Amino acid sequence: MTDSENDDLPELVADLHAHLEATASLPVEASASRWLGEAEAVCEDAVGPDVPEAVVEKRVGQVEMLLSNVEKTGNEEADDHVAAARKLAEEIGSRL
C-alpha cells in the first residue's frame, strides 16, 4: 500500500461508519436493524487515525459479513446507505 492509500484509510473507515450510523435513525425492518446495528458497532472499533491496519482489516471484514445478511431494509434511503457501505468496505479491503 502506498503512503497516500494509508492516509486515506481512516477517512474511508469513517465514511463507512457514517453510512452505517445513518441507518440507525431510519425506519428499517427489524431483521435488517439488528445486522446494521452490529455492523455499526463493529465498524466503530476501526475508526480513528491510530487504529492498526490489522484491526481495520478484521473489523471491515466483519462488517462485510454482517452486511451480507441484509438484503433489503424496507427503506430506500437506508438501502442506499447499505449499498454505499458495501462499496466502501470492498474498497477498504482492496487497500489492505
Query: Total domain count for the chain?
Result: 1
Q: What is the CATH number of the domain that holds 55?
A: 1.20.1270
Structure-derived torsion over alpha carbons of residues 63, 69, 75, 81, reported in degrees to the nearest 10: 20
Helical segments of 1-96, H only: 3-23, 30-44, 53-67, 76-95
Q: How confident is the model at residue 7 (pLDDT cuts 50, 70, 90)?
A: confident
Average of pLDDT values for 24-33? 97
Quote the domain boundaries for residue 15: 3-95
pLDDT at residue 4, as a whole number: 55
pLDDT digits (tens, 9 = 90+) for 38-54: 999 999 999 999 999 99
Cα angle: 41, vertex 61, 73; to 5 degrees? 60
pLDDT at residue 65, as a whole number: 98
Q: What is the DSSP letter of 48?
A: S
pLDDT at residue 5, as a whole number: 54
